[in-house]
Amino acid sequence: MAAQISGISSACSVASFKNQSPFDSLSSIRSSTLAFSSNLNGNLSIKSLETRTSQKSSTICSAVLVEHNSEQMEVDTTLSPRVNSVKPSKTVAITDQATALVEAGVPVIRLAAGEPDFDTPAVIAQAGINAIREGYTRYTPNAGTLELRTAICKKLKEENGLSYTPDQIVVSNGAKQSILQAILAVCSPGDEVIVPAPFWVSYPEMARLADATPVILPATISENFLLDPKLLESKLTEKSRLLILCSPSNPTGSVYPKELLQEIARVVAKHPRLLVISDEIYEHIIYSPAVHTSFASLPGMWERTLTVNGFSKAFAMTGWRLGYIAGPKHFIAACNKIQSQSTSGASSISQKAAVAALGMGHAGGEAVSHMVKAFRERRDFLVSAFRELDGVKISEPQGAFYLFLDFSHYYGTEVDGFGLIKDSESLCRYLLEKGQVALVPGDAFGDDSCIRISYAASLSDLQTAADRIKKAILTLNTPSNI
Ligand SMILES: Cc1ncc(COP(=O)(O)O)c(C=O)c1O
């Protein structure tokens, strides 16, 4: 039996009655006076709690009152302020909602997740199977096997023009971990992390986890969602520690042209404290004539850039959980240290599979170019389908597998039986309920005027989804609704 009780401090953010129970009246009496140490071993009576109140200075924001062997016991459920400062992922929330609808028999088309719909290429899967069969199932070095780090160095040299040695690489359980570790490794409390918007949902939250402050620099659809170097220059201070660039971008699919990166590099070079994380995980999913440029390859940028890449997207290996970071040894050794006290080395099996992935040829060879060709067809289809819709603004993606459409023209519309569509979240809810298509609201990515469509789905699903979205949107245009 457990009852949630509220706390006394106005600074507390988690304080509410949740369940009704015989303890509720008791806890409501005490909720205005309860304060004690979180050292809660032993059975506590009300009297002892009150005694502790006067003795200890720490405050309980939230607690559960439980019954154990007929005794009452209080458990402090207060969470770290660090956790309370982090927002839960909207991408995950909408994906879960869509999954629940599918499980209830509603034929929802799920275009919310950032995951290729292809199987991992057979040669990679086979390398993983061989690793298991051959007993390659033990811990690897913390930073990754020398075999894989050597293969990564070769890839970075040949495809990106970047020279690294294996001790300048750390392999992790996904690029997500690589980015978090890098932020934790270089940011001090109060440092600023510059995040151009629209951004991948995790960047600002990771900055918060490191007790740093995310500074969001908006880029508009008319600029193809690319950061304006002048805006960057105007926002840099002595607290600016990191700039996070993502090209090709999630959620916009924008690709930074080399000239623009050079302008950004000239601004960065004026600030000795400023480092750059260059997230290049969508590098291979790019549509010519767009060309990928690694930020670290620009003059003077190698020394201050941490290049992140991984296997999830281009090689359709999301579940294998493998990413990596490359950079100057001083920073990479710090990432390695953090990893050594958290997860240790990534999966030995995945690392063998990743060696096979890097052996498939330049930019992933035939298997990857086959997937990129399919993504391009889908992008072309969606772009022309949505160009037919009045009021929708489009910046044609040059890479990744997302379309970030500006639907703000339709905000302010009242729909019978649904209510007001006032922002990207209500529009996505409407499209889920009315059109049975799961999309992600742009406000999760720092731009409320847009919604994100992931086109990592079959062309026939995308055709059905586009029809449903258009139909649902056209309903909004009827005179009774506008
Ligand atoms: C921009 C970007 N960076 C990093 C990641 C993390 O990828 P993973 O942890 O699967 O390697 C993602 C995944 O969605 C992403 O979109």
The predicted-structure confidence for 152-185, as pLDDT tens digits, reads as follows 999 999 999 999 999 999 999 999 999 999 999 9
Verdict on whether the full-model pTM lies above 0.85: yes
Spans of all domains in the chain: 2-79, 90-118+366-476, 122-362
Q: What is the pLDDT of residue 73?
A: 86
Q: What is the pLDDT of residue 59?
A: 61
Q: Ligand 1, residues 225, 250, 440, 452: which to mutate, most atoms within 8 A of Cβ?
A: 250
Q: What is the pLDDT of residue 113?
A: 87
Q: State pLDDT tens for residues 391-432.
A: 999 999 999 999 999 999 999 999 988 999 999 999 999 999
Residue 387, pLDDT above cutoff 80: yes
Q: What is the pLDDT of residue 380?
A: 98
Residues 360-377, mean pLDDT to the nearest whole number: 96
> What distance in angstroms lies between residue 303's CA and the mean position of ligand 1's atoms?
24
CATH topology of domain 90-118+366-476: Aspartate Aminotransferase, domain 1 (3.90.1150)
User: Which atom of ligand 1 approaches the CA of 173 most closely?
Assistant: 9
Q: State pLDDT tens for residues 47-96.
A: 334 333 333 445 666 788 888 788 888 888 889 988 888 887 777 777 78
Residues 374-386, mean pLDDT to the nearest whole number: 98
User: Which burial class, exposed, middle or buried, applies to 182 when counting CB atoms under 10 A from its CB (0-12, 13-18, 19+)?
Assistant: buried
d(CA 472, CA 438): 13
DSSP for 442-480, please give it. Answer: GGGGT-TTEEEEE--S-HHHHHHHHHHHHHHHHHHTSTT
Of 319, 323, 320, give the one whose Cα is nearest residue 309.
323
Q: Ligand 1, residues 313, 318, 402, 445: which to mutate, most atoms within 8 A of Cβ?
A: 313
> What distance in angstroms lies between residue 346's CA and the mean position of ligand 1's atoms?
16
> What distance in angstroms lies between residue 151's CA and the mean position of ligand 1's atoms?
21
Residue 19, pLDDT above cutoff 70: no
> What distance in angstroms lies between residue 265's CA and the mean position of ligand 1's atoms?
24
**Closest C-alpha to ligand 1, atom 7:** 175
User: Which atom of ligand 1 approaches the CA of 310 most closely?
Assistant: 11
**Closest C-alpha to ligand 1, atom 12:** 176
In terms of CATH architecture, what is 122-362?
3-Layer(aba) Sandwich (3.40)
> What distance in angstroms lies between residue 462's CA and the mean position of ligand 1's atoms?
23
Q: State pLDDT tens for residues 87-134.
A: 877 777 777 888 889 999 999 999 998 999 999 999 999 999 999 999
Q: State pLDDT tens for residues 444-465.
A: 999 999 999 999 999 999 999 9
Q: What is the pLDDT of residue 35?
A: 26
User: Which atom of ligand 1 approaches the CA of 200 most closely?
Assistant: 1
Residue 191, pLDDT above cutoff 50: yes
First and final C-alpha spacing in the chain: 51
User: Which atom of ligand 1 approaches the CA of 400 most closely?
Assistant: 16
> What distance in angstroms lies between residue 175's CA and the mean position of ligand 1's atoms?
6
Ligand 1 neighbours by CB, cut-off 6 Å: 114, 174-176, 200, 246, 250, 279, 281, 310, 312, 318, 323
User: Which burial class, exposed, middle or buried, applies to 92 when counting CB atoms under 10 A from its CB (0-12, 13-18, 19+)?
Assistant: middle
User: Which atom of ligand 1 approaches the CA of 115 most closely?
Assistant: 14
User: Which atom of ligand 1 approaches the CA of 177 most closely?
Assistant: 9
Q: What is the pLDDT of residue 82?
A: 87
- Highest-scoring range by mean pLDDT, 77-91, 131-145, 466-480: 131-145
> What distance in angstroms lies between residue 174's CA and the mean position of ligand 1's atoms?
7
Residues 6 or more apart from 397 whose CB is under 8 A from it? Answer: 248, 252, 253, 254, 287, 379, 383, 403, 404
> What distance in angstroms lies between residue 176's CA and the mean position of ligand 1's atoms?
5
